């Protein structure tokens, strides 16, 4: 219960921000917060609060797994730092690169294979898996 | 006369003893029923947290840290430990990727530049 008190502001922001399937559990001195965020802005806000309560995420007492999902056929923007995004044959960095999506390019999400890898298609027709951290649902 | 006093004393002791016994009995009964209530509530609200296997975490961590050349990560019994260096403006993105892998916990020992 002590950890829930420490992260009260974060839990309330998740509830207030419309996070679906929200679960808050404490196990072996770690707090686990899971759910589906309705937008990237809500997720970013939760991480800003987390970083405020525990600067630079040093305490190791929270696992914050609140992610934004994109429906099949929806659009997502490539939000790499500045480089192109690799499109791979399969879901993994050990898979061969079959194409690239440019920084800021808008692509179509075909399938969310798992939390990390999404199957996408570019307007030029390149199709394959990209690391979802570099996609922002539109 | 002495005998009567002795018998009375025994009777008082006996009564006191039986009162105490009854009190204990009620107490344990109450404690027992409240324990049952607590157990019921817990099973209704708490499902165990899903922790990824070390194999799956190792693959996930490799993918997540690929674009962070200064960062080293090890996986042990569900715990991900980060060492090395990272720029502050990239720390949150890396942590977001790692937290989504269902680790048991993340030990951030990174030097932040």
Q: What is the pLDDT of residue B5?
A: 54
Answer whether residue B29 shows pLDDT above 50. no
Q: What is the mean pLDDT of residues B6-33?
A: 50
CATH classification of the domain holding A108: 2.30.30.40
Number of domains chain A is built from: 2
Q: What is the pLDDT of residue A115?
A: 82
Helices B54-65, B88-99: inter-axial angle, 10-degree rounding? 150
Please choose, from the candidates A66, A53, A56, A63, the residue with its C-alpha nearest in 3D space to the C-alpha of residue A15: A66
Residues A43 and A6 in one domain: yes
Residues A45 and A97 in one domain: no
Residues B62 and B108 in one domain: yes
Asked if B108 lies within 8 A of A56 by C-beta distance, the reply is: yes
Residues B34 and B74 in one domain: no
Q: What is the pTM of this model?
A: 0.77
Pick from B63, B90, B95: which is nearest to A93 by CB?
A: B63
CATH classification of the domain holding A23: 3.30.460.10
Residues A9 and A64 in one domain: yes
Answer whether residue B46 shows pLDDT above 90. no
Q: What is the pLDDT of residue B28?
A: 47
Residues B73 and B99 in one domain: yes
Percent above pLDDT 90 for chain B: 58
Please state the length of chain A: 138
Residues B42 and B84 in one domain: no
Higher-pLDDT residue of A16, A40: A16
Range of the domain at A15: 2-68
Residues A97 and A58 in one domain: no
CATH classification of the domain holding B64: 3.30.1340.30
Asked if A116 lies within 8 A of B108 by C-beta distance, the reply is: no
pLDDT class of B42 with cuts at 50, 70, 90? very low
Residues B29 and B1 in one domain: yes
CB neighbour burial string for A75-94, b if at least 16 within 10 angstroms, e if fewer: ebbbebeeeebbbbeebebe
> Are A108 and A120 a contacting pair, CB within 8 Å?
yes
* Nearest chain B CA: its distance from A123 CA (Å): 25
Number of domains chain B is built from: 2
Residues B104 and B77 in one domain: yes
Q: What is the pLDDT of residue B3?
A: 55
Q: What is the pLDDT of residue B47?
A: 85
Answer whether residue A129 shows pLDDT above 60. yes
Asked if A60 lies within 8 A of B108 by C-beta distance, the reply is: yes
| A61, closest residue in chain B (CA to CA) | B105
Residues A43 and A26 in one domain: yes
Range of the domain at B13: 1-47
Higher-pLDDT residue of B68, B47: B68
Residues A64 and A83 in one domain: no
Residues B20 and B67 in one domain: no
pLDDT class of A118 with cuts at 50, 70, 90? very high
Q: What is the mean pLDDT of residues B51-76?
A: 96
> Cα–Cα distance between A55 and A49 in angstroms, integer?
10
* CA B7 distance to own-chain centroid: 56
Asked if A65 lies within 8 A of B102 by C-beta distance, the reply is: yes
Residues A63 and A112 in one domain: no
């Amino acid at each position: 219960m002590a950890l829930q008190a420490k992260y009260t502001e974060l839990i309330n922001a998740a509830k207030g921000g419309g996070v679906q399937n929200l679960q808050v559990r404490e196990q072996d001195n770690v707090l686990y917060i899971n759910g589906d965020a309705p937008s990237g802005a809500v997720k970013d806000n939760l991480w800003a609060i987390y970083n405020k309560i525990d600067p630079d995420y040093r305490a190791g007492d929270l696992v914050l797994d609140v992610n934004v999902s994109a429906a099949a056929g929806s659009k997502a923007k490539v939000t790499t730092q500045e480089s192109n995004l690799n499109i791979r044959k399969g879901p993994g960095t050990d898979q061969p690169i079959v194409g690239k999506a440019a920084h800021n390019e808008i692509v179509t999400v075909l399938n969310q294979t798992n939390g990390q890898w999404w199957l996408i298609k570019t307007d030029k027709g390149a199709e394959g898996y990209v690391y979802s951290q570099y996609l922002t649902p539109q | 006369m002495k005998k009567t006093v002795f018998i009375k004393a025994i009777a008082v002791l006996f009564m006191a003893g039986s009162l105490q016994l009854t009190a204990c009995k009620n107490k344990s009964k109450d404690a027992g029923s409240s324990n049952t209530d607590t157990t019921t509530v817990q099973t209704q609200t708490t499902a165990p947290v899903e922790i990824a296997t070390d194999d799956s975490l190792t693959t996930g961590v490799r993918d997540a840290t690929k674009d962070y050349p200064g960062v080293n990560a090890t996986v042990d019994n569900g715990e991900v430990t980060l060492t090395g260096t990272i720029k502050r403006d990239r720390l949150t993105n890396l942590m977001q990727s790692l937290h989504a892998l269902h680790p048991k916990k993340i030990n951030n020992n990174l030097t932040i530049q």
